[in-house]
Structure 1
Amino acid sequence: MPHRNKVQLEELEKSLEKITEENKNSNIILAGDFNCPDIMWNNLSIKKDAQDPEVQKQLINITTQFGLTQFHEEPTRESNLLDLVFTTNPSLMKTSTNIPGISDHAIIITDTDIKPFYSKSNPRKVYTWARANWDEVNKDIDSLTTQIRNNIQNNQNVNEVWLTFKKHLFASLDKIIPSKIVKSNNRLPWITHKIKKMLKKKQNLYNQAKKTKYWTNYQLYQKSCKREIRKAEHNYINRRNE
């Protein structure tokens, strides 16, 4: 919000109302440039010499209304705290620090104790069209076309014609064209081949430790994996911000 005004805050309030109505038990994390440097977030008050005090008071009211706690403390432009991080669940927040930015604002890096939710797709069948026997496909399609015409002439209704066409078409594809079952890739983008090998080794060490009841090697390697994953994640984010 480079130019703070009530209209933008009213739109923010509408968005938060919609989110809380549709997801009553969800945790909210809200971050951005709010350009309200005169709010003292430790006691939710405004400095006496504040500019646009009504607008800044409106932001305080919105955060109070939706149970949002401001978590970031370091100034993000000179001595001003302009960029803020709000949450409805402070227990999820670990740290929030600055790194040099590409503009006159610092970049906020906030570490949270949350995991992304992935909507996993079911395995699906994929036809290998390059290996299809097209002569057989055309032969089956010709036969199916004749059958559909006969059904129409016999006054079969549209839904029955469609179901007949669909059933015989897929039966023909399954019979003639090779296929395979593929799974969707939900892997995090910073999980490299090296990390995948480390995770596989970690699982092997876990299996060994479970049998021998000797957990030291597994615990040490588990820490190494966590460090490597966190390092890869930070490097990935930094590259995206360049």
Structure 2
Amino acid sequence: MILYSHLKYSPQLHGLPRDRNSRGGGVFVAVRDNITSLERKDLEVDGCEILWCQLSLKSKDDDIFIGAYYRSTDSYKPETLNGLEESLHKLQSSVNVPFIVLGGDFNIPGMLWKVDDTTFPVNGLQSKILDIANDYNLDQRVDFPTRKDPVSGTENILDLLFTTRPSLIKNTRPSSGISDNIAVLADINIRAPRVSKAPRTNFRWKDVEEATFIESVSKLQTQFMRSSPKSKPIEENWNFFKDGLTNIINKTVPQKIAWGKPRPSWLSTDLVRQCRKKERSYVKAVKSGLPSDWDNFKTLQKKVNKEIHGAKRSHLQEMTSSENPRQFWRFINSSRKDSSGVQVLKVQDTNITSDKGKAETLADQFSSVFTKESVADSKPELPPSPYPDMPNITVSVDGVAKLLKELKQVRLPDLAQLQIKHSN
């Protein structure tokens, strides 16, 4: 355990301690002086050594709740975790989806934590901590031993680090502590990394040389007809046509590489222009230091913020009232705080952590709602139809050509954009 007195030698840190009434010791959280923090005494529980600290970020919804916890080794009954469970319940009741980082010495031996294996059950203590982690969507990130028994040499993971956003916890590693337990260090990203769009190729059809393109397509047609397509499978004919046409497009059509920039759909070009104008006014005010320039910057800042909030609200109202749900869910996915995907699933007191296990569990759940009929069951016999049989359908070349001419031209992606001029 790190002593609170060690903070005296760290002038850039201030501590939020919770000392024991007797026997010394306790838990604390150390925060840098330049970070706004608030001790949440309302989340504490009598008889439980736990301390919560709320770190304020730019957005209130992104505040981090840092927790320090210690479980005594006086008893290994699962009831010793009731205080932790009650404290987490208080936190979840006060915040809708809290960003939790909870660490400390849990003193729960016999767990590997890589596969949620409880190979050392002591009165259900391991099962209790797994239930708490599952109920409050907590993921444990420490997978290396933090204490080695000096007598038996047994290694255990006693110091744990839980979080509700595992993709933001990076580089969890051991470090030499000042006690008999190994200290746990981890890096926390404040926000989930934005996934940039991959570069895409845009074909400039306006600049294509029509004569060269038509000549290349005619040669491809001749090669295709000479290859006896009627004697080949449809898949082989399609691959021949697709590969040949792709090569022609890559050689004859000018291309331009476009790099996608992450921009919210509600952020129009005019708003981007105003934001840049506000940034220029800020740089000017910083360089000059004149009150008039600062007043101009503050006026632009209020105006831009008001228009941004209004554009975002209008966009949300438009999406919620739209009949197309794809735009709404695309916006929801872009606003997520975490990129971890499906969380740990629990099936019959077993936690599923692997991607394959999660996929199979969700597939089984989906298929369970459908009725399973046995093939051996006799099929019902249908009575004879009172309607006459339909005559054979005759498909002629002229009929197909007529239908193709009546098709409306629509813009389709990739190869389907190509319009080939062909005359018989």
Q: Tell whether the structures are fold-level matches, with TM greater than 0.5.
A: no
Higher relative contact order (Cα pairs below 8 Å, separated by 6+ residues): 1
When the two structures are superposed, what TM-score results if normalisation uses the length of structure 1?
0.44
Task: Give 1 or 2: higher helix fraction.
Answer: 1
Q: Look at both structures and tell me which one has the larger radius of gyration over its CA atoms.
A: 2
When the two structures are superposed, what TM-score results if normalisation uses the length of structure 2?
0.26
